[in-house]
Structure 1
Amino acid sequence: MKLIRDTWLVYARQLGLVIRQPTWVFIMLIQPLYYLILFGPLLNGLEGMPGFEAGAMETFVPGLVIMMAMFGTLFSGFGLIAEIREGVIERFRVTPISRLALLLGRSLRDVTTLVFQALILVLLSSPIGGLTIYWDGLALMMLIVIGIGLALSAASYGVAIVLKSEDALAPLLNTVTQPVLLLSGIMLPMALAPDWLQTVAKFNPFAYAVDAARALFNGDLASNAIWQAAVFIGALMLLLVFWSARKFSRAAA
């Protein structure tokens, strides 16, 4: 019960900061909207090709939501570095608050913001791109978004505590995210890729998340990609939260 109470206290404080300064919540929507408006129409001519059987927007938007889940939470650690520099984490050493709650409260704040942004993007995709929304699948897809958000938010905070420098964090994240993004099939389905690239993509857990999101978004609730994504993203989330929690415990011990 103490962990739940402490997590709620940290979450409420962090969410309050977002509510008082909501500008960044909407700024983070700008890049996905650019892709939707300026890149999405380029895919209309690909309908019927491998990976686009359900339609251009029905294929592209779920991938765009997964991209938002990745990039919307992976860079959360920059804010923590500022708090470390200002001595915020240091001051928690004299408080009885759970060290795990320090991580979970922040990550849940990031996930709450992410879900709000993802829903806004999907709702805007209907009038802008002519997207047909399958609501049951969308609700289940949000569970994948939450899992990715928790995993990458926790990872970002853990790495931030280790590096303690924006100059080191930025190039590291960019180096890691670029191949993960390209091998996930977010921009174009991996069905269009050569066999060797599809084989490499099988080692990328986010590729399963993208496939599952597309299946759910189009009402294919029996797709194998769904349980595969649940296994890989769930395991990744538990691993990264556990690792980051240890880093938090040591930093605030």
Structure 2
Amino acid sequence: MAQCTRKSALLEELEAAWAIAKKDIKIYYLKAPTLMFAILFPFAMFFAFAVGREMPVATLVPGLVSITVFFSASSIGPSALPLERRIKAYDRLVCAPISPYTVMLGKVLSGAIFGLVIGSIILAACLPVFGLQIISLPGLLLGLILASFCFSMLGIMLAMFPRENPGDVMLLLNFIRLPLIFISGIFIKIEMLPYWGQVASAFSPLTYANDLMRLALEGASAFDPLLSTALLISFSAAFLYIGRRIDLKFRE
């Protein structure tokens, strides 16, 4: 009986998280900050630094997919939460009879789905254009899903700071995102970075997401795929925990 009750409670929490995600999908996917920071900005950054360089296409495409997922998945939370704070919608969510982690999970889901969809579209467009083949479909799907959730949690973590203007959170987020794209093997392979760059890259979740993409599309990687998978999961858990602590800190 108790086990059935626990299962029922878990299903209710998951249904609540999905309801929150669906609401965000309908409202925020086509907002101007989302489109600008999630799609236009990463494209501009990528082509500004990649065009004209002597890099094989098989190396460029994983980087383009990784940076697109990175920016798109991490942009939904910082776009949605400040606006919801402004109209007190987030306060009503937190006061609802559901776990605070359920609220965060719903927000994370909306960002992860957005990143997964946008990244898949970019990949589907690049494969026939550049004549690439997927070497490992399971590895590619694993990389896309883990990266989408991890980067979405990064955005949610920073969106937990009590701001009512999306631009304030985006500024903080870009302060973190921009340096990471230069040390994570997007434009220069990890193996070709100086020693200090390789050390710094180890602390970037984008490094391991891009490495899984490279393995699936190029057949080469700098790290063991099991290590990359474990670290992406660890980063995701850390972002979720820190985000919750930030939220509690400012609610005291």
Tell me the TM-score normalised to structure 1 length: 0.78
Shift in CA distance, 80/242, structure 1 to aligned 2, threshold 3 Å: same
Question: In structure 2, what is the equivalent of residue 16 of structure 1?
Answer: 26
Deviation of residue 144 (structure 1)? 2.4
2:91 is aligned with what amino acid?
E
- Structure number with the bigger relative contact order (C-alpha 8 A, sep ≥ 6) is 1
Match of 2:3 in 1: none
1:14 Cα shift?
2.2
Q: What is the CA distance between 1:24 and its match in structure 2?
A: 7.8
Per the alignment, do residues 36 and 198 of structure 1 end up closer, same or farther by CA in structure 2, a change over 3 Å counting?
closer
Q: Residue 227 of structure 2 corresponds to which residue in structure 1?
A: 228
Cα pair distance change 1:211/1:161, threshold 3 Å: closer
1:53 counterpart residue number: none
Deviations along 1:19-75, one digit per CA (max 9) or x if unpaired, are 7x48887764444555677765524x44xxxxxxxxx12111112211122211323
Unaligned 5+ runs, structure 2: 1-10
Alignment of 1:39-118 (within 5 A): 42-43=52-53, 45-46=54-55, 56-75=56-75, 76-118=77-119
The alpha-carbon distance between structure 1 residues 26 and 155, as it changes in their structure 2 partners (threshold 3 A), is closer
Gaps of 5+ in 1: 47-55
Matched, 1:182 2:176: no
Q: TM-score, normalised by structure 2?
A: 0.78
Asked whether the 8 Å contact 1:3–1:98 carries over to 2, the reply is yes
- Please tell me whether the aligned partners of residues 137 and 216 of structure 2 are also in contact (alpha carbons under 8 angstroms): yes
Kindly tell me: are residues 39 and 224 of structure 1, through their superposed partners in 2, closer, same or farther at Cα, counting changes over 3 Å? closer
User: What code does the residue aligned with 2:139 have?
Assistant: L
Structure-2 separation of matches of 1:105 and 1:11: 5
The CA deviation string for residues 66-101 of structure 1, in whole angstroms up to 9 with x for no partner, is 112221132331321011011101223543233222
Q: Which residue of 1 aligns with 2:14?
A: 4
List per-residue Cα deviations over 1:210-246 (Å, max 9, x = no partner).
Answer: 22220122346x9743112111111011111233245
Q: CA deviation at 1:123?
A: 1.6
Give the root-mean-square deviation of aligned CA atoms: 3.2
Aligned-pair identity (%)? 19
Q: Is the 8 A contact 1:77 1:160 kept in 2?
A: yes
Distance 1:93 1:33 in 2: 35
Kept in 1: contact 2:73–2:111 (CA 8 A): yes
Q: 2:45, 2:94 → 1: CA distance? A: 44
CA distance in 2, matches of 1:23, 1:165: 16
Aligned length: 239
Segment of structure 1 superposing worse, 116-125 or 237-246: 237-246
Correspondence 1:145 to 2:144: yes
